[in-house]
Amino acid sequence: MPAMETLRLGSPFDYENLVTLVMIGDAPPPEQRDEQLRPFYHMMLKRYLSETGGGAFVLFTSYQMLKRCASDLTAWLSERRMPLFVQGEGISRSEMIRRFKQQPNGVLFGTDSFWQGVDVPGQALRNVIITKLPFAVPTQPVIEAKVERIKDRGGNPFGEYQLPSAILKFKQGFGRLVRTQTDSGLVVVFDPRIHSKSYGKQFIDALPKCKIRMDRASSKQETYF
């Protein structure tokens, strides 16, 4: 076999100056029921949507939570002239994106299909909020079958499949923010597992090097590191 030459090129985007990854130091554990998490989500959504004046994708892993948050925040967003676009309200994904791009301060609530394959260059999108790390639901038939196959051969389903799949999808969600060399903004992660679990570092390490800010839900304290 002839020798092969490879070349690894860095990203053309200056993430260190373009993107700030925001984590919430005292966020509640995601295992809580939706009704327990809703007050936290509402408070944090209002905080970070206000910080950027809209221009945001809010990415959910639960369609039920998406609908509840959309219902609860509709009036608040309307008062602040932030048009809300909600997945599942009879508008195609492409049409939602087209309308979102036309608004300087729009807010889009989306689930699975909006984590990837969506391109919004420019300042129409300057804030990506990730409510939970995107681990697949283990009881879904396809996921359950893959997990069982790994177990049957003595493997570790979490380390071999569930964690890498979640990291890949997380990177795709993060990647919605910067599509050109002049794009910039925040990627906010509500899920505390990104900093509280040993595997959380793998999510951070999978991203391009960027500024990292640790906030607290109980105050407006911000720490960069």
Give residue-wise pLDDT tens across range 193-220: 999 999 999 999 999 999 999 999 988 7
**What is the value of pTM for the model shown?**
0.91
Beta-sheet strands, E only, within 170-216: 185-189, 211-216
CB 84 within 8 A of CB 32: no
Q: Is residue 118 part of a domain?
A: yes
> Which residues constitute the domain of residue 112?
16-218
DSSP H or E stretch at residue 48: helix 34-52
Task: Please check the confidence at residue 20 and state whether its pLDDT lies above 60.
Answer: yes
CA 28 vs CA 65, 104, 113, 217: distances in Å: 15, 32, 26, 9
Number of folded domains in the chain?
1
Backbone angles phi, psi at 142, to 5 degrees: -65, -45
Question: For 4-18, what is the mean pLDDT?
Answer: 70
Confidence of residue 161 (pLDDT cuts 50, 70, 90): very high
State residue 6's pLDDT score. 55
- What CATH number should be reported for the domain holding residue 213? 3.40.50.300
In the three-class reduction of DSSP (H, G, I as helix; E, B as strand; rest coil), residue 5 is classed as: coil
Q: Is residue 224 part of a domain?
A: no
Q: What is the length of the chain?
A: 225
1-33: burial string, b at 16+ Cβ within 10 Å, e else? eeeeeeeeeeeebebeebbbbbbbeebbeeeee
State residue 12's pLDDT score. 74
DSSP conformation class of 22: E
Confidence of residue 9 (pLDDT cuts 50, 70, 90): very low
Q: Is residue 159 part of a domain?
A: yes
